[in-house]
């Protein structure tokens, strides 16, 4: 039996309502994963995440390999026990750090050598080691090591990244040992549809249980991302989950769901929360602004999170100006709740066959807020 089983329950256009079964529970899709880079979603307890509706988390291979170390986490019972999260976990492979930490890494067909951003020590990530680390962590879904180039990379760099990504995927597939962990392939190719198609064909031959769309949200304008994302999703198997990596603005999620994407992650809810920016249907509320200083209203009237049920915009404004840690905690929790409510409404709209109408209404709200 596969470690991850996926079933499409209903469609509305290309949008898919699905159910993904993992060793640590069921995930109803489309779903959004908060980012727990270092085995924690910053400032929030696992119980708070559960109460907000979170089904699945993402953690980071590169960062956990550096600190505290994958072997130590395995010794202490694996990542779920280590961070007291009972639900499913997906671990990325370190491929994004190939892009984001380009200044402190050296890449070859063998793998990637990083100079630790913590102390300058050497960390070597080969496809085999990336799989080994993720198997030690014990995540439900592991990702192949890939090369993620910037969107404005030259044709030769993009082509080399696709070739290397496929080569590494083959080695990751061979290195896999745990039967209770699913390994997903990652499609690269930048904004070149020909390279995207080439990468998809090669990865489909390896028959991964799920596929990710990588190399998006790396600086390209949304209007360039959407058509490439949509076409790439069309080429992926209908009966397997599709994961759009690192893309997380509400309007981007709506467009991706319309293209048939099932799974998302992004740092925006908590990063914006730490920076006094709260998501709302009417747009992003910038709580440091003076307009909120005497505002007695909650962030959103109908939001069930504790920030909205117990506190005013004026109080949150005060917390950030007083540099109190409660401010980032409350707004991060609100933003996580906002995203989970968005995904719940998306699933309901697909189930009712009215996703196109729902998407249009939410995009109009985003536009009005902007």
Residues marked active site are found at: 92, 265
State both tokens at 211: 């596929």
Mapping DSSP to helix (H, G, I), strand (E, B) and coil, where does residue 205 land?
coil
* Among 312, 320, 317, CA closest to 296: 312
Determine the Cα–Cα distance for residues 243 and 229; give it in Å rounded to an integer: 11
Enumerate residues 6+ apart whose C-beta is below 8 A from 24. Answer: 80, 86, 87, 88, 89, 140
- Tokens of residue 177, six digits: 């040992």
C-alpha–C-alpha distance, residues 271 and 277, integer Å: 9
Q: Report which DSSP code applies to 49.
A: H
- Tell me if 277 sits within 8 A of 331, measured CB to CB: yes
Give CA–CA dist 21/39, Å, rounded.
22
Residue whose pair of structure tokens reads 């988390």 in the numeric block: 57
Q: Of the candidates 38, 20, 50, 16, which has an alpha carbon nearest to the alpha carbon of residue 337? A: 50
For residues 51 and 306, the answer to whether their CB atoms sit within 8 Å is no
**Complete edge-to-edge strand list for the sheet that includes strand 5-12:** 5-12, 15-22, 25-29
Classified as helix, coil or strand, 97 is helix
User: What is the residue-wise DSSP string for 288-331?
Assistant: TSGGGTT--S-S-TT--SHHHHH--HHHHHHHHHTT-THHHHHH
Whether 276 contacts 296, CB under 8 Å: no
């Amino acid at each position: 039996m596969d470690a991850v089983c996926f079933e499409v329950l209903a469609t509305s256009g290309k949008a898919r309502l699905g159910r993904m079964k993992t060793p640590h529970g069921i995930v109803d899709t489309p779903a959004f994963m908060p980012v727990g880079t270092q085995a924690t979603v910053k400032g929030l307890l696992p119980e708070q995440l559960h109460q907000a509706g979170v089904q699945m988390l993402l953690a980071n291979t590169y960062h956990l390999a550096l600190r505290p170390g994958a072997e130590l986490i395995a010794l202490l019972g694996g990542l779920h026990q280590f961070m007291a999260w009972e639900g499913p976990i997906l671990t990325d492979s370190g491929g994004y750090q190939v892009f984001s930490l380009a200044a402190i890494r050296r890449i070859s067909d063998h793998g990637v050598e990083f100079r630790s951003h913590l102390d300058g020590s050497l960390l070597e990530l080969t496809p085999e080691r990336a799989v080994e680390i993720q198997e030690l962590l014990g995540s439900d879904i592991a990702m192949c090591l890939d090369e993620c180039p910037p969107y404005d990379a030259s044709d030769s760099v993009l082509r080399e990244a696709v070739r290397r990504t496929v080569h590494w995927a083959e080695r990751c597939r061979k290195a896999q040992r745990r039967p209770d962990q699913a390994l997903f392939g990652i499609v690269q190719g930048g904004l070149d549809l020909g390279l995207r198609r080439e990468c998809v064909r090669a990865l489909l031959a390896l028959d991964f249980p799920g596929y990710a769309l990588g190399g998006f949200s790396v600086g390209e304008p949304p209007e360039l991302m959407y058509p490439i994302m949509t076409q790439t999703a069309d080429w992926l198997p209908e009966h397997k989950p599709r994961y759009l990596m690192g893309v997380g603005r509400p309007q981007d999620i709506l467009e991706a769901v319309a293209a048939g994407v099932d799974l998302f992650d992004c740092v925006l809810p908590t990063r914006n929360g730490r920076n006094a920016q709260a998501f709302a249907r009417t747009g992003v509320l910038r709580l440091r602004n003076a307009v909120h200083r005497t505002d007695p209203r909650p962030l959103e009237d109908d939001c069930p999170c504790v920030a909205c049920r117990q506190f005013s915009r004026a109080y949150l404004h005060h917390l950030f100006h007083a540099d109190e840690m409660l401010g980032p905690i409350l707004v991060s929790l609100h933003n996580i709740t906002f995203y989970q409510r968005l995904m719940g409404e998306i699933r309901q709209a697909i189930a009712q066959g009215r996703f196109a109408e729902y998407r249009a209404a939410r995009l109009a709200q985003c536009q009005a807020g902007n």
